[in-house]
Amino acid sequence: MSKVRKIIRQKNTEKIRKPPGTLIYIGKEKDTDISIDLLMYNAEKFEEKSILNNISDTKFPIEEYTSWVDIKGLHDEKLIEKVGKMTNIHALTLEDLLNTEQRPKIDFFHTYTYIVLQTLKYDEESHEIIPEQLSIILGENYVMTFLEKPSYDLNILKERIKNKIGKIRSYGADYLAYAILDIVIDDYYEIIEKLGDQIEAVEDALMFQTEKIEIQDIYVLKRKLLEFRKTIWPIREILTKLEKNDTQLIKEKTALYLRDLYDHNIQLIDNIDIYRDLVSGLADVYLTKSSNRLNEIMKILTILSSIFIPLTFIVGVYGMNFNNMPELEWEYGYFLILGLMLLIAFGMGIYFKRKKWL
Amino acid sequence: MSKVRKIIRQKNTEKIRKPPGTLIYIGKEKDTDISIDLLMYNAEKFEEKSILNNISDTKFPIEEYTSWVDIKGLHDEKLIEKVGKMTNIHALTLEDLLNTEQRPKIDFFHTYTYIVLQTLKYDEESHEIIPEQLSIILGENYVMTFLEKPSYDLNILKERIKNKIGKIRSYGADYLAYAILDIVIDDYYEIIEKLGDQIEAVEDALMFQTEKIEIQDIYVLKRKLLEFRKTIWPIREILTKLEKNDTQLIKEKTALYLRDLYDHNIQLIDNIDIYRDLVSGLADVYLTKSSNRLNEIMKILTILSSIFIPLTFIVGVYGMNFNNMPELEWEYGYFLILGLMLLIAFGMGIYFKRKKWL
Amino acid sequence: MSKVRKIIRQKNTEKIRKPPGTLIYIGKEKDTDISIDLLMYNAEKFEEKSILNNISDTKFPIEEYTSWVDIKGLHDEKLIEKVGKMTNIHALTLEDLLNTEQRPKIDFFHTYTYIVLQTLKYDEESHEIIPEQLSIILGENYVMTFLEKPSYDLNILKERIKNKIGKIRSYGADYLAYAILDIVIDDYYEIIEKLGDQIEAVEDALMFQTEKIEIQDIYVLKRKLLEFRKTIWPIREILTKLEKNDTQLIKEKTALYLRDLYDHNIQLIDNIDIYRDLVSGLADVYLTKSSNRLNEIMKILTILSSIFIPLTFIVGVYGMNFNNMPELEWEYGYFLILGLMLLIAFGMGIYFKRKKWL
Amino acid sequence: MSKVRKIIRQKNTEKIRKPPGTLIYIGKEKDTDISIDLLMYNAEKFEEKSILNNISDTKFPIEEYTSWVDIKGLHDEKLIEKVGKMTNIHALTLEDLLNTEQRPKIDFFHTYTYIVLQTLKYDEESHEIIPEQLSIILGENYVMTFLEKPSYDLNILKERIKNKIGKIRSYGADYLAYAILDIVIDDYYEIIEKLGDQIEAVEDALMFQTEKIEIQDIYVLKRKLLEFRKTIWPIREILTKLEKNDTQLIKEKTALYLRDLYDHNIQLIDNIDIYRDLVSGLADVYLTKSSNRLNEIMKILTILSSIFIPLTFIVGVYGMNFNNMPELEWEYGYFLILGLMLLIAFGMGIYFKRKKWL
Amino acid sequence: MSKVRKIIRQKNTEKIRKPPGTLIYIGKEKDTDISIDLLMYNAEKFEEKSILNNISDTKFPIEEYTSWVDIKGLHDEKLIEKVGKMTNIHALTLEDLLNTEQRPKIDFFHTYTYIVLQTLKYDEESHEIIPEQLSIILGENYVMTFLEKPSYDLNILKERIKNKIGKIRSYGADYLAYAILDIVIDDYYEIIEKLGDQIEAVEDALMFQTEKIEIQDIYVLKRKLLEFRKTIWPIREILTKLEKNDTQLIKEKTALYLRDLYDHNIQLIDNIDIYRDLVSGLADVYLTKSSNRLNEIMKILTILSSIFIPLTFIVGVYGMNFNNMPELEWEYGYFLILGLMLLIAFGMGIYFKRKKWL
């Protein structure tokens, strides 16, 4: 996928003019292994099993448990349709699940709430930000998550559930959804740190000339910030709608945590906006430096020319072949002229000193 | 039509100071064949016929059917007036229909809702975006669409109705209107993809010098984005008003789809705004590159001048014709001077090396 | 009136620190003939007469008619005061009437609504936009209009009333006020067309070098757009307030037309904003082109200097007068040197070819 | 006071970390004469007297009168405290009164409303805008005004009251407060006119090269506009709050006048914003002109160099001292070479003509 | 901590993917002495003691007193947990307390309100703004404050309480919280004054060339303003929420003071925004000056070259060695040529005079 295309996650052209609700997986990950894991837990009990091969037979959700179905690999559209039938997921939601270049959003349906996010990982080699779509379906007492490939994982959360770390076992599905969102947003902090490092590197390079940077480097930083902002800006609205919504999905206890998450998100957006201001400031510094360097170059040329052009003229004069040029006959004419030229050079030197060019 | 004019679709000057409600077709397509097709369908039955020659006699709308009247070619004002009388369309609506350079908008009337959009097609030859106005009248159980010329078509939708693809046959007129809007907005994705390609081409050309681009190219891209944004920005409001409106036209089931369409539209606007940021970033890169190139040019001139101007002065000195110039008499004077000049040239070379100009 | 002053219509300095409600005409048009015409009409009857000389005796408004008092020429403050007494116009309104450099606004009084607009005409000779203030007083069943000079006229409307063109005779005073607003806004389309022509001319000149333009031309265009925007921006608010207001002045039937007018106004503002973006884009193109031209100039200078500076040095060397310069004695020394110089010039040519400067 | 400091009226550093309500006069005007005048009037009666020496004994306010206490000179903190006790002014209000670098604001207290404004005068000599703080306390039937020095005065209003000019005598304290605000805002028109003159002067200088201007001049204009905007922007909110407030202080009759004042204020803000756009446009024009001038300079240098560098090379060639240079022996060699050089110069001339550089 | 990092206070990477509510102190101040002081007072009594060693035994809060617990040093997470248990502080609040790089915010809990701010001190040596996080917990009749290190102190407030200065002893805990906020915001005025001084210094340097400044200096100023704005912008919302909140924590009397504080905060934000405009104006002035200087340099080069290049050509002509050059034989040929060259130089001088280059 080209660079610009990566920023602009868009409805795949294959889907143009298709009837709404048509299930087409538009991503690239068609060879990854598919896994469907079911976790069931409450304050006392915990169970984890793969249900890949017996989706239709699995009783789900079970009332006394909080259940979490974790699906990885989306290229088998039939399978996704089966999953959809487990809890009556609307055709539009299934379509959005598979359309893995969605803008983050929240949709409220009668029996569940659908949240779609873009998780981000920083690739140390290509220095690119790698997005992956995470879909969350939050029901009465269950959560379903959909990921395209196994590279992004929520295993740390499974550990926390298994080992009863924190309050997750004693809270319900709403807290589980919050915990997933919390991990996704936590990961954004890593991205912003990387971007901060890069801005700092550009800053140092510009200020202390430690290394040569190009205007492209600044432009690429700007583009990454745009990409990043595009991903986290809609989350603000998602969290507000989630908390404010009348559905009884979010309990009072969890709402407090969502507000905390909202603060984190605002902080991220603030930082990106400041970074954008800094980057555009750096572009100005770059341009000004470039223009200053031109001044420097022209100064050298002008000083040199100003000193030697008149001198070259003078030696030219005494290189003329007129028969009658009295100075040429003088015994010390040559030395007089040399002295005169030294004087001129010296005078020019003082002039440029005064102009603070030297 | 000139380029700027194309962006600014405006009330035709012929219409200035005319009384409101005067029907004047202002478009250019006066030779296209006019066609008026009527589709009637419900879950069981389907019928399609041309009613061009018997508009006034056609019973329309019929209660047990969802009807769609598809009109192409708007240059016969009398005919449009007849169509208007079929379902009591207000004079202002008819005027707007014919004024084919409207800003997209929605108007609510007692018995129907009027929506006007600009459909867009990308012309592969001229690399221009070709707009065409689509007017939609949505009534209780009927939809009327008005297009200027047959180049833009909704035939795929007719196929879907005829062949019962998707849910269109079991939903009513509101879903039909949604389906039309969906096709129009889907087509915008093609435009944004083309613009993305062009931005990428400019980006590559600037970054890797693959080909020469001019500042005009960037300006033209900017203008196209402005044009595009102008077309889709008002749709946001149209969809909101359509969904929120108290009229019972939009049923709950269809509202869900409209919200999905709204999300698509927001995504398009987001992308355009990012593209606009990128394009203005590219203009900065262009300018900076141009200024860097000047620096490069001046460096070469300055290095060359700095080396040769002093040397030329020296050879000038020994070209003077003074009688008494001892150096000229020295046996190896010439070679000494040549050596001196080599030294100077060498010294200059080291100086510029240190300044990192070489 | 100077250019900047023309944009900034401001409270005349004569009026500073005067008590509010003081009637002072601040315009320049003190010699124009004053005319006061009264039109009375309903669906059946129509009457038109001058009441300049018998204002105080004229019975006005008469219940069964829609009346329109059309006043031209505002320099006779006594007369305006008399007109004010006809229908009990508030002192502040009269003050605003005469202060002909008002920002467009709407004010609601108990018995009437006061609207002030700036009409615009494009002067083909000076290429300036000529504003003229139009005040409209809309009462229960009457309208009063005040214009400064006879150059702007609403005669076409009088024709329509007289000859029963359109619906104006069967609607009341609210429709009359709408019709006046409609004509004023229609005239703005002419201005925007002229500005569009000028932007296009600048665009062509920049892109195809058809003629020389100066940065001033772009600045002046920008200033005209600012002026234009200032005039039509407040109309948005005027129309909204007029339609939304609780006073029973605007009937349901007319409200529909006002909404249409509102759409036109939004379209105008949209277009101006796009024009402003285009003009600022053109200024960037201008600057970049100018910087490119400098590059071009410097390239020529550098190429020329790079070729001839070393050559001039070489011929300088052999112009030296040393006694012992073996090359000078060689029989073909001269031709060897000529050949060497040709080689150098050729080498430089290849170098610049590779750098893509030639 | 330095220039930047003047724009940024800020809490004096003496006051940092002092408990709230501490009365400290932070201004510079410690030597001006203090005066406290009391005006009492109603439609019939009028009385004016100095109460500087008997504040505590003065019965105030008296019910059947509208009273106005006009205080000038604020450096005697004890005196201000005494004044405060006359009508139970809150400690925070007294603190604000003395802190003469306040942002314009309105505060509602139980028995009165506190308004603080910055009056502006244009100093013809230094070309600076001189601010002075005016505090207004509006009570049930009284107004108190506080000014720092006698340079700004409201005497014209006292005249109007004394001589029954306008409606001021028959309206109450709310109209008096309005009348004061009206004078302050009227004075702003003088400032905007001066700034308009200066922008025009810069415009003329840039367009017609009438005189030399520096980029600083444009920067200073920009700074003055910022300063001005900062002063009048909050007044918008003050007027809205004053009119909308539930306190019964503002009567219906006066509200109409306040709305008029609000319109004036909006007009001022509009004009400042347009001026700011113009000034930033002028800065662009300045920069472009400067870059054009560089082009012009470089063109001259390049034309001259291009003509003479090759010629100088040629004459250098024939200045070489080779034994065997056939051309030197030709009888008309010299004239041939002169002719050749003329040809070259001519050719160059034609080349530059074609490039439209000459 | 690097410079960019300092601006962007962010969730420490140690905390990423940790469960919410985990107490980790992320600051650097792990060696500072911890102190926990308890102040209890009412209008009559006052008591102050250290409770560092007997937190769990301290009865707190006591009803008839206003209590203030002042904690300094946050690196002992166990201790903070103990403090949290005194008044039932929520785990999220404790987490925020220790996460000392928070965005300023306010959170409402059932029994208390949590406010977090960044206090700022200007370091005279490094010319950096040093932030330190201050957490305030406002309960029914108590306040708790948490600071990271003892460098920022509120001792002046303790003095005021102890010595009954101002109204603090007779008001409750809400006024105490206000007084703390007041001190923090008062300290911001010192920062803005320092920034004002720096802007002024840059301004003077640019306008009167008093000293050399670099574009970096302007960039650093811009960055400091961004940092500052980021710190005080959210306070606006904090104060609004605090005053508007339904909790009965803030009494009517104190609300008045909060509104005053709100005004101060708005004034600070206004000033920062104006400073930002000024700084960006200064960057433009810098760039323009730099471009003007280039013009100046090129002018000198061009004048010099224009005078000497033709002259050097002429002397070159008469340095040619043609056998037949009649001028060389003329007796006064040399002097004629000298005269001619003087004339040319003079003519050039006049030409440049006319062009106003000299």
Structure tokens that stand for A212 in this block = 């040569």
Judged against a pLDDT cut of 80, whether residue E10 lies above it is answered with no
Structure tokens that stand for E309 in this block = 């290049």
Instruction: Name the residue of chain A whose CA is nearest to E283's CA.
Output: A284
Chain C interface, best mutation among D267, D272, D282, by max C CB count within 10 A = D267
- pLDDT tens-digit map of D100-120: 888 899 998 888 999 999 999
Inter-chain residue contact A200 with E4, CB threshold 8 Å: yes
Number of helical (H) and strand (E) elements in chain A, helices listed first: 9, 7
Which is more confidently placed, A1 or D331?
Answer: D331
Can you tell me whether residue B135 is helix, strand or coil?
Answer: strand
Inter-chain residue contact C309 with D309, CB threshold 8 Å: yes
Chains touching chain C through at least 3 C-beta pairs below 8 angstroms are B, D
Report the gap between the CA of E269 and the closest CA in chain D (Å).
11
Sheet holding C105-108, edge to edge: C46-50, C35-41, C66-72, C142-147, C128-139, C112-123, C105-108
Inter-chain residue contact D328 with E317, CB threshold 8 Å: no
Inter-chain residue contact C316 with B316, CB threshold 8 Å: yes
DSSP states of B319-357 as a string? Answer: T---S--HHHHSTTHHHHHHHHHHHHHHHHHHHHHHTT-
Say what the pLDDT of residue B275 is: 93
DSSP states of B15-67 as a string? Answer: GTTPPTT-----SS--SSPPEEEEEEE-SS-EEEEE-TT-TTT---S-TTSEE
Chain C interface, best mutation among D284, D297, D337, D341, by max C CB count within 10 A = D284
Inter-chain residue contact C160 with B226, CB threshold 8 Å: no
Say what the pLDDT of residue A2 is: 44
- Which among E288, E305, E334 is the end of a domain? E288
Q: Is E229 exposed, middle or buried (0-12, 13-18, 19+ CB in 10 A)?
A: middle
Say whether both D204 and D331 belong to one domain. no
Inter-chain residue contact B165 with A230, CB threshold 8 Å: no
Distance in angstroms (rounded) separating the CA atoms of residues E15 and E35:
26
Inter-chain residue contact B294 with C289, CB threshold 8 Å: no
Say whether both C211 and C319 belong to one domain. no
Judged against a pLDDT cut of 80, whether residue E3 lies above it is answered with no
Inter-chain residue contact D215 with E187, CB threshold 8 Å: no
Residues from chain B that touch C203, judged by Cβ atoms under 8 A, are: 3-4
DSSP assignment letter at C149 = S
- pLDDT tens-digit map of E144-168: 999 988 778 888 899 999 988 888 8
Specify whether the backbone of E62 is left (phi greater than 0), alpha (psi in -120 to 50) or beta. beta
Residues from chain E that touch A348, judged by Cβ atoms under 8 A, are: none
Residues from chain B that touch A327, judged by Cβ atoms under 8 A, are: 322
Report the gap between the CA of B127 and the closest CA in chain A (Å).
19
Residues from chain D that touch E228, judged by Cβ atoms under 8 A, are: none
Average pLDDT, chain B: 87
- Residues D311-321 have a mean pLDDT of 89
Chains touching chain B through at least 3 C-beta pairs below 8 angstroms are A, C
Say what the pLDDT of residue A1 is: 35
Say whether both B237 and B348 belong to one domain. no
Inter-chain residue contact C274 with B230, CB threshold 8 Å: yes
Residue A266: closest CA among E12, E103, E94, E237: E103
Say whether both E249 and E311 belong to one domain. no
Report the gap between the CA of C355 and the closest CA in chain D (Å).
20
With beta carbons less than 8 A apart as the criterion, state whether A142 and A67 touch: yes
- Which among A247, A266, A288 is the end of a domain? A288
Sheet holding E35-41, edge to edge: E46-50, E35-41, E66-72, E142-147, E128-139, E112-123, E105-108
Residues from chain E that touch A271, judged by Cβ atoms under 8 A, are: 8, 10
Report the gap between the CA of C198 and the closest CA in chain D (Å).
18
Pick from C156, C277, C312: CB nearest B312: C312
Chains touching chain A through at least 3 C-beta pairs below 8 angstroms are B, E
Inter-chain residue contact B196 with A291, CB threshold 8 Å: no
- Listed in sequence order, the residues at least 6 apart from B166 whose beta carbon sits closer than 8 Å to its beta carbon are A19, A20, A21, A22, B160
- pLDDT tens-digit map of A45-95: 999 999 888 888 888 888 889 999 999 988 888 888 888 888 889 988 998
Say what the pLDDT of residue C2 is: 44
**C267 φ, ψ to 5°?**
-60, -40
Residues from chain A that touch E329, judged by Cβ atoms under 8 A, are: 323
Pick from C103, C301, C315: CB nearest D305: C301
DSSP states of C123-144 as a string? Answer: ETTTTEEEEEEEEEEEESSEEE
Say whether both A204 and A315 belong to one domain. no
DSSP states of E313-358 as a string? Answer: HHHHHTT---S--HHHHSTTHHHHHHHHHHHHHHHHHHHHHHTT--
Instruction: Name the residue of chain B whose CA is nearest to C199's CA.
Output: B4
Residues making up chain C, counted from first to last:
358
Inter-chain residue contact A274 with E226, CB threshold 8 Å: yes
Residues from chain D that touch E167, judged by Cβ atoms under 8 A, are: 19, 21
Residue D336, number of CB atoms within 10 A of its CB: 13
Residue C228 CA: distances (Å) to CA of C10, C120, C221, C236, D283: 16, 9, 11, 14, 22
- pLDDT tens-digit map of D78-93: 888 888 888 889 988 9
**D321 φ, ψ to 5°?**
-105, 25
Residue D71 amino acid letter = I
Judged against a pLDDT cut of 50, whether residue B124 lies above it is answered with yes
Instruction: Name the residue of chain A whose CA is nearest to B287's CA.
Output: A287
Pick from C192, C200, C316: CB nearest B312: C316
Pick from A187, A271, A309: CB nearest E16: A187
Inter-chain residue contact C322 with B318, CB threshold 8 Å: yes
- Which among D233, D254, D288 is the end of a domain? D288
For tokens 């100018």, name the residue: C290
Say what the pLDDT of residue D99 is: 86
Say what the pLDDT of residue E5 is: 47
Residues from chain B that touch C187, judged by Cβ atoms under 8 A, are: 16-17
Question: CA B304: distance to chain centroid?
Answer: 49
Say what the pLDDT of residue E14 is: 67
Say what the pLDDT of residue C9 is: 46
Judged against a pLDDT cut of 90, whether residue E60 lies above it is answered with no
Distance in angstroms (rounded) separating the CA atoms of residues C242 and C257:
12
Say what the pLDDT of residue B295 is: 87
Judged against a pLDDT cut of 50, whether residue E9 lies above it is answered with no
Residues from chain C that touch D305, judged by Cβ atoms under 8 A, are: 301, 304-305
What is the rounded end-to-end Cα distance, in angstroms, of chain B?
A: 53
Say whether both E235 and E328 belong to one domain. no
pLDDT above 70 as % of chain B = 95
Average pLDDT, chain D: 87
Pick from C216, C332, C337: CB nearest D207: C216
The alpha carbon dihedral of E170, E176, E181, E183 has a sign of positive
Distance in angstroms (rounded) separating the CA atoms of residues B291 and B288:
5
Distance in angstroms (rounded) separating the CA atoms of residues E24 and E81:
11
Inter-chain residue contact D313 with C311, CB threshold 8 Å: yes
Inter-chain residue contact A223 with B281, CB threshold 8 Å: yes
Predicted interface score ipTM higher than 0.90: no
Give this prediction's pTM: 0.83
- Residues D156-168 have a mean pLDDT of 88
Residue E68: which CATH number?
A: 3.30.460.20
Looking at the DSSP bridge assignments, the partners of residue B128 are B123
Report the gap between the CA of A136 and the closest CA in chain E (Å).
18
Say whether both B184 and B311 belong to one domain. no
Residue D292: closest CA among E149, A63, C297: C297
Say whether both C276 and C324 belong to one domain. no
Distance in angstroms (rounded) separating the CA atoms of residues C316 and B316:
6
Instruction: Name the residue of chain E whose CA is nearest to D276's CA.
Output: E277
Inter-chain residue contact E20 with A319, CB threshold 8 Å: no
| Strands annotated E in A194-352 | none
B206-215 long-range contacts (CB < 8 A, ≥24 apart) are B206/A216, B206/B282, B206/B285, B206/B286, B206/B289, B207/A216, B213/B286, B215/B283, B215/B286, B215/C284, B215/C285, B215/C288, B215/C289, B215/C292
DSSP assignment letter at A12 = -
DSSP states of D126-149 as a string? Answer: TTEEEEEEEEEEEESSEEEEEESS
Inter-chain residue contact B325 with A319, CB threshold 8 Å: no
Say whether both E211 and E345 belong to one domain. no
**Which residues span the domain enclosing C324?**
297-354
Report the gap between the CA of A244 and the closest CA in chain B (Å).
18
Pick from E17, E92, E297: CB nearest A156: E17
Say what the pLDDT of residue E149 is: 82
Say whether both E322 and E187 belong to one domain. no
Pick from D256, D281, D310: CB nearest C222: D281
Say what the pLDDT of residue E1 is: 36
Residue B343: which CATH number?
A: 1.20.58.340
pLDDT above 90 as % of chain A = 33
Q: How many domains does chain D have?
A: 2
Distance in angstroms (rounded) separating the CA atoms of residues E290 and A16:
53
Instruction: Name the residue of chain E whose CA is nearest to A270's CA.
Output: E230
Residue C250 amino acid letter = I
Instruction: Name the residue of chain A whose CA is nearest to B280's CA.
Output: A219
Pick from D215, D226, D338: CB nearest E285: D215
| Strands annotated E in C84-180 | 105-108, 112-123, 128-139, 142-147
Say what the pLDDT of residue D148 is: 87
Say whether both B99 and B202 belong to one domain. yes
Q: What confidence tier does B183 reach under pLDDT thresholds 50, 70, 90?
A: very high
- pLDDT tens-digit map of B19-68: 877 888 877 777 778 899 999 999 889 999 998 888 888 888 888 899 99
Instruction: Name the residue of chain A whose CA is nearest to E21's CA.
Output: A166
Distance in angstroms (rounded) separating the CA atoms of residues B217 and B220:
5
Say whether both E131 and E40 belong to one domain. yes
Q: Is E358 exposed, middle or buried (0-12, 13-18, 19+ CB in 10 A)?
A: exposed
Report the gap between the CA of C241 and the closest CA in chain B (Å).
19
Average pLDDT, chain E: 87
With beta carbons less than 8 A apart as the criterion, state whether D311 and D344 touch: yes
Say what the pLDDT of residue C61 is: 83
Judged against a pLDDT cut of 60, whether residue E11 lies above it is answered with no
- pLDDT tens-digit map of E94-108: 988 888 888 899 998
Residues from chain C that touch B304, judged by Cβ atoms under 8 A, are: 305-306, 309-310
Say what the pLDDT of residue D2 is: 44
Residue ranges for chain C with pLDDT beneath 50: 1-3, 5, 8-11
Interface contacts C/D by beta carbons within 8 Å = 170
With beta carbons less than 8 A apart as the criterion, state whether D136 and D107 touch: no
Say what the pLDDT of residue C12 is: 56
Looking at the DSSP bridge assignments, the partners of residue B50 are B37
Residue ranges for chain A with pLDDT beneath 70: 1-14, 246-247, 358
For tokens 């004036």, name the residue: D264
Residues from chain B that touch A15, judged by Cβ atoms under 8 A, are: 186
